[in-house]
Amino acid sequence: MYKISDKDTDVQIERVDTIRDLGILIDVKLSFKEHVHDKINKAYRMPGLIKLNFKYPTTENFTVV
């Protein structure tokens, strides 16, 4: 348990298992497993959003002119 003293008050520092820094999730072992899992889950959400918004998706809907 760590504390920071500021004049008359002591502030306790919270211990966390993972932290997000510059958009990257890092755990206490400096592993990027949580970051990779987060990105994979976001990628899996995209087909679900497409399925919700298009009743009959075709290639014409997704081509860029």
Split into its structural domains, the chain has a count of: 1
* pTM summary value: 0.54
Q: Is residue 9 part of a domain?
A: no
Is 52 within the bounds of a domain? Answer: yes
Task: Examine residue 53 and state whether it is found in any structural domain, yes or no.
Answer: yes
Coil, strand or helix: which one is 19?
strand
Q: What is the pLDDT of residues 18-42, one digit of tens each?
A: 889 898 888 888 888 889 999 999 9
Which structural domain range is residue 53 located in?
18-62
Instruction: Provide the 10 A C-beta neighbour count for residue 18.
Output: 13
Question: pLDDT band at residue 48, thresholds of 50, 70 and 90?
Answer: confident
- In the chain the first and final C-alpha atoms are separated, in Å, by 58
Residue 51 maps to a domain:
yes
Q: What is the mean pLDDT of the chain?
A: 85
Q: Cα 30–36–38 angle (5° rounding)?
A: 110
| Residue 40 falls inside a structural domain | yes
**Lookup: tokens for 17:** 């298992």
* C-beta of residue 29 within 8 angstroms of C-beta of residue 35: no
